[in-house]
Amino acid sequence: MRVSKFSGFRLVREALRGHRGWTPLWRNPEPQPTYDIVIVGGGGHGLATAYYLAKVFGQTRIAVLEKGWLGSGNVGRNTTIIRSNYLLPGNQPFYEFSMKLWENLEQDLNFNAMVSQRGIINLIHSDAQRDAYRRRGNAMLLSGADARLLSREDLRDLVPFLNYDDARFPIRGGLMQPRAGTARHDGVAWGYARGADALGVDLVQNCEVTGFRTRDGRICGVETSRGPIDAGKVGIAVAGSSGRVMALAGLRLPIESHVLQAFVTEGLKPVIPGVLTFGAGHFYISQSDKGGLVFGGDIDGYNSYAQRGNLPVVEDVVESGMALMPMIGRARLLRSWGGVVDMSMDGSPIIDRTPVDGLYFNGGWCYGGFKATPASGYAFAHLIATGRPHASAAAYRLDRFARGHVIDERGAGAQPNLH
Ligand SMILES: Cc1cc2nc3c(=O)[nH]c(=O)nc-3n(C[C@H](O)[C@H](O)[C@H](O)COP(=O)(O)OP(=O)(O)OC[C@H]3O[C@@H](n4cnc5c(N)ncnc54)[C@H](O)[C@@H]3O)c2cc1C
């Protein structure tokens, strides 16, 4: 089956022919008995990894095995924020690399993933926080990213609807990254899936990996719900299921799985220009192109694999929203859902080899892995294809916890709910 090339010309032609010429975005192949490389997990990271393995590293005979349907995990459940406003040297260059890939992603994939660089503002509520954000902004500029420190007056011009005058936590300013923004989350999964499929990658859905097969300490295949599959190399990118899947290989990770919820209101006329984050609590909000206010807050705070959330966190999130912008109280909440996030003990990810030869691990994305999708896929593909870490992800080693070289962006210690 041939993948359609999207273009304005094609759209007009199909419109004149009753749209009967479009083909599905990807094939639905049966799993083959053997592949060179098997990627476990058809989320954003797994699909991006397969795409770059084929496109950049010239690998063939690749399969992505997904236990449900493509994009059924966190890639289709997140609040769509992309940004590269990090502080630490282990993180900032990686996320800036990702931002640069986002900026060219739609051209690269020939797919409209609705990447929208509408800017993010982190609000400042104290002098100490201003110092910390100024330092962060300088670190961003040094890595080639963009950053602007905003005064209270600047903010009043940009986001006049915030509670400036009667607030429990007065707003003193903000740190802005104008190149940050949002992308359509499931569109990103579909774009990478379509791109990988066009390069010959087999995307196998409804195929759960249930075990790993090894010979003399080296990986030689996987057991799946659709039978055994031989593989020269296996890459794991299963996000919230990281602990469970790596346990099948006998490995215990410095990761806990927690539920994170997302909320969407009814559609409103354009009101929020970019992404806003509350600096005195855990709350972030943007407005989708359909008009819904999309927001979220903290994780639910206990270990779980349930893709639904609990009510105390709903209350906590909407309280933060009301403290920041009381007008949100007039909006009706339309939908909410949960996703299972893989919280690492320092809040930073892992992209590394494992003690099993030929088995590679990508995880620990906490609640920030969507923005990392392009760079994570690229760096993981680099590691699997060459055996060496990509320069941007060199700090994301599995043994950093044993060595004490943690990348604790928030300085919060091993407490997932504080990252
Ligand atoms: C509510 C919420 C809001 C978020 N907001 C943001 C945000 O605004 N910005 C941001 O950067 N990040 C955000 N995140 C985090 C981000 O979504 C994740 O870090 C990222 O999507 C994880 O990578 P992924 O896309 O590959 O994961 P997933 O899409 O979860 O992919 C993993 C896949 O592995 C599959 N799988 C699991 N076990 C097996 C198995 N045994 N065999 C085969 N397949 C298996 C799953 O079915 C799943 O499809 C948010 C997360 C949630 C839940």
How far apart CA 221 and CA 230 sit, in angstroms, is 4
Domain that holds residue 319: 116-181+256-344
Q: How many CB atoms lie within 10 A of CB 311?
A: 7
Question: Which residue, by CA, sits nearest to atom 9 of ligand 1?
Answer: 81
CB-ligand 1 contact for 208 (6 Å cutoff): yes
**Residue range 216-228: mean pLDDT, rounded:** 97
CB-ligand 1 contact for 95 (6 Å cutoff): no
pLDDT (tens digit per residue) in 130-163:
999 999 999 999 999 999 999 999 999 999 999 9
Q: Mark which of 295, 314, 344 sits at the end of a domain.
A: 344
CB-ligand 1 contact for 55 (6 Å cutoff): no
Q: Mark which of 312, 328, 344 sits at the end of a domain.
A: 344
How far apart CA 388 and CA 358 sit, in angstroms, is 12
CATH code: domain of residue 387: 3.50.50.60
**Residue range 403-414: mean pLDDT, rounded:** 92
CB-ligand 1 contact for 288 (6 Å cutoff): no
Instruction: Specify the pTM.
Output: 0.97
How far apart CA 35 and CA 289 sit, in angstroms, is 40
Give me ligand 1 centre to Cα 74, in Å.
3
Same domain, 320 and 383: no
Could you tell me which of 370, 368, 369, 392 has the C-alpha nearest to residue 381?
392
Query: Token pair of 88, please?
Result: 């630490």
Could you tell me which of 407, 284, 283, 389 has the C-alpha nearest to residue 345?
407
How far apart CA 350 and CA 400 sit, in angstroms, is 9
Query: Token pair of 417, please?
Result: 């709910």
Give me ligand 1 centre to Cα 7, in Å.
30
Helix (H) or strand (E) holding 212: strand 209-215
Question: How does the average pLDDT of the chain come out, rounded?
Answer: 96
How far apart CA 282 and CA 417 sit, in angstroms, is 10
Check whether 1 has a pLDDT greater than 80: no
CATH code: domain of residue 124: 3.30.9.10
Specify if 195 maps to a domain. Answer: yes
Specify if 7 maps to a domain. Answer: no
How far apart CA 33 and CA 228 sit, in angstroms, is 7
Check whether 307 has a pLDDT greater than 90: no
HSE-up (13 A, CA, CB side) for residue 309:
27
Specify if 95 maps to a domain. Answer: no
Q: Report the sign of the C-alpha dihedral through residues 244, 250, 253, 256, in that order.
A: positive
If one counts the domains in the chain, the total is 2
Same domain, 267 and 163: yes
pLDDT (tens digit per residue) in 237-262:
999 999 999 999 999 999 999 999 99
Question: Which residue, by CA, sits nearest to atom 14 of ligand 1?
Answer: 367
Q: How many CB atoms lie within 10 A of CB 177?
A: 24
pLDDT (tens digit per residue) in 355-368:
999 999 999 999 99
Same domain, 172 and 162: yes
> Are residues 52 and 378 in contact, defined by beta-carbon separation less than 8 angstroms?
yes
CB-ligand 1 contact for 347 (6 Å cutoff): no
CB-ligand 1 contact for 70 (6 Å cutoff): no
Same domain, 153 and 294: yes
Same domain, 139 and 260: yes
Same domain, 309 and 379: no
Check whether 418 has a pLDDT greater than 90: no
Residue with token string 């680099």: 382
pLDDT (tens digit per residue) in 2-26:
677 889 999 999 999 999 999 999 9
